[in-house]
Structure 1
């Protein structure tokens, strides 16, 4: 009994200490000091969650306290948000209702807590449609009050920081979901530090060995980077001192996730990444009016010391990014022959870059309304997308993601108004961004007064005029070159609407035909007509008929009259009883043993051949980081963890993900594809095959090599046991003189 009491005391001390830290952090901010309401929210939440523990064993209230600290310190919000963070799980996990919260804390806090309750338990529910609904709720609530999404991001950040206490399959689901939605959301809202941490933590749990390896390599090269930084910044410091500026210069090292991403996309080892180090100059302007001028003055001064790269000046000062980010980026050639990026920002710009545009938004307590133009525009776009019914949950997520990830370009209307568009936008995207009518009736565009097709990709600085025709209609091919979320959603909605209209007309024509010919409109008759007109299914048949691509006539009547009696009999049999085979299959499926998703799958020689399928999209082999996905037929598909399809599955069907581990012993063979290139020389092909076939005794399945202007490149398809074999083959091939690159690739 005494032990329990001491343990309870320890918990209480921990809770009290956590809350005091939160209060001290809050008192250190520039917000109005509304300590009383925060204390009231803490006491209420503490009482509501009393006795409940988290998976890690600590009292549950420590989670809301941690989320409130993130909201206060890392996002910079005030008492309303802190109270909402403390109360964010009360309605979902206890008997209290939103009405209770409203009565005690007022309508504003209740509205935010209600928004957070709607999207509780992660964005994604047990199945795809629930997940899409939750995501819609998230974005709709975000449109009402941006603080809902900011607190949700803080909640996810704390969950990621404490992910170690969960089972591996849960870790993959949450990490995948975080990379798919939360990190881009944080990025879009200007929460750069949080975005980076979410990416790194997701990567740490999905690829622990690679994470540790890159971390070790960063540590090993730290001393050299410090030396480069010191030598590079010394002349810059003396120049800024001469200018009489108050400033600080800091080194920014590329994040582990960014390094790995670059290694993947460029297919290069860690040692070949040369932009690990960037330099940040943060200055305090003499006055607000001079802030922009001083950015350019610093740029001019340091360009006299080091040679700037002519194509790599990024002016986010005159044209801030959509998330409010402002800075001047310039790439300079250091004395060691290496390009180094320098970011020039004022202290205000730095605060916006680190804490996010949202912290300076109109909801900031104690402050006036800020210019929230770009953020408002983005939220308005999302609302427009939500107004259209979405046919598929996953399509909806991908549509939104298009705009979450996008970098911006600046284009002009014929009247000279500036428009911010995502990178790779086409003339068609631009038309839809102005108005749906303009988009759906456009026939072409003039870019910088030159006629271009709708698929033309726009670049920063382009002046765009859209040409329209009333007779123009949305074409299905437009989906292929629309890139923005808004354009894709509108095109899809218009095509769906037209398809539904055509189907209705087709159905009316079909029923009239059957009535005139005195035939039954049964499935077998419709199937015959589908085959006759080369349509895949009834819907496609009705759409084509309604669009008048064909007309029902004599041929159709002859096909149906031939075996009308037999068709009717067949229809009766089909309706009233399933065949013996169908029954057996159904029983077999119902009696199948449920799959335990908490288990870690052991991928042995026997189970790979009998129970699991290797995913055709990424073709994992032993040694790759993998996971299992239970498909709708209850079959387990093995994917690489970083496979794009697996990323989508983790986010959309997280409850079907199972942790998996290899346990093979070099008995099974798996196909892999290697890419080789280098300088062409006599006997090169012979040397490559000699090493693979004779020296390493590996079976070559297929080999293609092309030489052009003294450079050769080729693809070799092999059968190997595991990743270790691939590593050995690559190392041996790299030893051949004139071979410059060997890497494993996807087909």
Structure 2
């Protein structure tokens, strides 16, 4: 969020009635060198020229889709970066950014000729072309993951990639319609938000406009026509407001500039979509920027404009006192302007304006070197650290990319720690999101919280200005239910990462139990398996070690019966009979304790509880699902022994198990409370209640209860039968 509040799309000059054309000159190396003379010493310009000759030779004979020599593209990318006043290493890498990917030049050769830093930059931008992926989505995700991780080592990687994508979008017309849509979607979903996250507003706006034009051309055309129809009528209003603002500044002897702007087309479209409004319902399509010399002058101007036009309640935001996540600072206020048209005014200093437009690139353009906590460079470093954490916890590149997408669209709220530190969070964030934003360990051990000194549920959504205190406990662990309400990528990826580790441990232990239960038919256990046969099986199955095999068995991805036969060298009919006697069959059943965790699931159709006759079926990726033996949903699996598992309850099952009962009662006032009280007397927790009135006299009460087993359930039902208003009780099965 660089130049405007996330609710208010960034404006563009009124003179531009269409998106930036990006009509790109075919830059010559001589033009580039002349431009570089404005800020680089001669020896560094010579290095850039040498890199150009190297790249031109490497790309010799290659042409772009447009038919022009390929070297024009690296030159144009380098010119974009030169306009940001990037250092000579970054410019050299830009000139060579495609040689590893598209030519026979190796990274080692680049390092030898231009230095290790340049080689790392080029490698960071290059796609993964040496690996075969199952789908285009996997390939895209892996390449983007590689680039983002390279960016955490050197931020210049993403600046080169943004310049590369910007030039590609300027010249996208030469691509096929399908490619245009695919590239434009990726630009809108990934690269424009990254430019926004780094505060490089002008790059973000141009990427969005080109992406909008190619991904939704008709929608853009409709909005453009609507803007053109209203622009003529409102130009006079814009001129009136500009004149009034300049007059006020002059009267108060304030040195500053005023610029009236129209928000760019994609920003208008995004706001229409977010607020579900038509174009005619948007009231702040026009915005004005007032740029002054000092921070205190910004607040003086704010008072002047509020005196000039009536402010809209609730539409003032102070991003100077509380900068945005990318370092953007400005005062935003909405006013009712001439003719009752709502306008937006942004007030900032010259330094704030440079940061708003250039973001982290201002570090090179103006050599600010600012490392204060709110500077774009420091904030970018914090974001990159979060990316590294997400990479460690994400299961694969596709999941990592999804987390990054979530992280790239923050609509912020600002809350305080008890010590007064400001934490910026995505709008809709909860207490758990706040805990993880402070530190992963705080989130993992969070058990309760106070908002403004009052206890609040962990799922409570946060509002700007609140003070949140997190209460932790040493033995606490993330709850899977948190995934139902957290909204930030950092919280989601940490919770999932922890659950995966827990599930992996549970799967390994359960897999070992399953395999040993099957091997017991051959009078051995896993420790007694021939090591050579085990190694051969692992190699054939493309598994790293025994632990990975046990994981697969525990998660239901491999059947313990088939694995056991392979490990003992027995196939098909050579296996010993599993039905020699009732006692033998019983000895090979797997005991269900109720503490197996996330690898044993109890079917929702029949809700088995200890004491029921049970059987289990394998569910790939989940483990096993336990059913009551009479459950009709077992269907054809009853006859498929390789999909079924003989199980029984252990002698002392642990925990509570869900079941459902239906209680038919006479329709009297207070009967629900009487029945619920009787259930509570028997030590059962009611998870859910549903009432259905059959007629004026009878009501069905459906209870979902937690019980320890059939004996516990029987006690509850006997107690309910003693209630005079109860006419019938049945246990419910959904099968």
| Structure 1 residue corresponding to 2:361, chosen from 356, 359, 374 | 359
Deviation at 1:25, TM superposition (A): 3.3
**Superposed CA offset, 1:58-82 (max 9, x none):** 1111111111111122x44232222
| Structure 2 residue corresponding to 1:300, chosen from 300, 303, 307 | 303
| Structure 2 residue corresponding to 1:58, chosen from 63, 68, 76 | 68
Contact 2:196 2:204 in 1 (8 A): yes
Deviation at 1:227, TM superposition (A): 0.8
Structure 1 position 487 matched with structure 2 position 491 = yes
**Superposed CA offset, 1:718-741 (max 9, x none):** xxxxxxxxxxxxxxxxxxxxxxxx
2:274 aligns to what SS in structure 1? helix
- Given the superposition, is the C-alpha separation of residues 196 and 437 from structure 1 closer, same or farther in structure 2, using an over 3 Å criterion? same
1:248 paired residue number = 257
Equivalent-residue separation in structure 2 for 1:152 and 1:478 (angstroms): 36
- Given the superposition, is the C-alpha separation of residues 298 and 106 from structure 1 closer, same or farther in structure 2, using an over 3 Å criterion? same
| Structure 2 residue corresponding to 1:510, chosen from 508, 514, 527 | 514
The worse-fitting range, judged by mean Cα deviation, of 212-221 and 159-168 is 212-221
**Superposed CA offset, 1:544-598 (max 9, x none):** 79xxx978997559979xxxxx999977999xxxxxxxxxxxxxxxxxxxxxxxx
- Given the superposition, is the C-alpha separation of residues 246 and 559 from structure 1 closer, same or farther in structure 2, using an over 3 Å criterion? closer
Deviation at 1:240, TM superposition (A): 0.7
Contact 2:242 2:260 in 1 (8 A): no
Equivalent-residue separation in structure 1 for 2:507 and 2:228 (angstroms): 64
Q: How does 1:155-304 map to 2 (within 5 A)?
A: 155-283=164-292, 285=293, 291-304=294-307
2:466 aligns to what SS in structure 1? coil
1:465 aligns to what SS in structure 2? strand
The worse-fitting range, judged by mean Cα deviation, of 124-133 and 309-318 is 124-133
- Given the superposition, is the C-alpha separation of residues 552 and 237 from structure 1 closer, same or farther in structure 2, using an over 3 Å criterion? same
Equivalent-residue separation in structure 2 for 1:294 and 1:125 (angstroms): 58
Contact 2:93 2:118 in 1 (8 A): yes
TM-score normalised according to structure 2 size? 0.66
- Given the superposition, is the C-alpha separation of residues 326 and 421 from structure 1 closer, same or farther in structure 2, using an over 3 Å criterion? same
1:377 paired residue number = 382
- Given the superposition, is the C-alpha separation of residues 515 and 568 from structure 1 closer, same or farther in structure 2, using an over 3 Å criterion? farther
Deviation at 1:141, TM superposition (A): 0.4
2:697 paired residue number = none
Q: How does 1:10-21 map to 2 (within 5 A)?
A: 18-21=28-31
**Superposed CA offset, 1:687-738 (max 9, x none):** xxxxxxxxxxxxxxxxxxxxxxxxxxxxxxxxxxxxxxxxxxxxxxxxxxxx
1:311 paired residue number = 314
Q: How does 1:350-429 map to 2 (within 5 A)?
A: 350-356=353-359, 358-361=360-363, 368=369, 370-371=371-372, 372-388=377-393, 390-429=394-433
Deviation at 1:295, TM superposition (A): 0.9
2:339 aligns to what SS in structure 1? coil
1:467 aligns to what SS in structure 2? strand
Equivalent-residue separation in structure 2 for 1:401 and 1:426 (angstroms): 19
2:346 paired residue number = 343
TM-score normalised according to structure 1 size? 0.65
Equivalent-residue separation in structure 2 for 1:533 and 1:253 (angstroms): 70
- Given the superposition, is the C-alpha separation of residues 539 and 55 from structure 1 closer, same or farther in structure 2, using an over 3 Å criterion? farther
Could you say which structure has the larger radius of gyration?
2
1:414 aligns to what SS in structure 2? coil
Deviation at 1:142, TM superposition (A): 0.5
Equivalent-residue separation in structure 1 for 2:342 and 2:165 (angstroms): 36
Structure 1 position 83 matched with structure 2 position 85 = no
Q: How does 1:282-681 map to 2 (within 5 A)?
A: 282-283=291-292, 285=293, 291-356=294-359, 358-361=360-363, 368=369, 370-371=371-372, 372-388=377-393, 390-514=394-518, 521-522=560-561, 542=600
Equivalent-residue separation in structure 1 for 2:124 and 2:204 (angstroms): 22
- Higher RCO (C-alpha under 8 Å, 6+ residues apart): 1
2:59 paired residue number = 49
Equivalent-residue separation in structure 1 for 2:257 and 2:165 (angstroms): 32
Q: What is the RMSD computed on CA atoms of the aligned residues? A: 3.9
- Given the superposition, is the C-alpha separation of residues 544 and 379 from structure 1 closer, same or farther in structure 2, using an over 3 Å criterion? farther
1:419 aligns to what SS in structure 2? strand
Equivalent-residue separation in structure 1 for 2:265 and 2:637 (angstroms): 65
Q: How does 1:103-118 map to 2 (within 5 A)?
A: 103-118=112-127
Deviation at 1:379, TM superposition (A): 0.8
2:280 aligns to what SS in structure 1? helix
Contact 1:360 1:370 in 2 (8 A): no
Deviation at 1:444, TM superposition (A): 1.7
Equivalent-residue separation in structure 1 for 2:129 and 2:238 (angstroms): 45
Deviation at 1:511, TM superposition (A): 3.7
Deviation at 1:367, TM superposition (A): 6.2
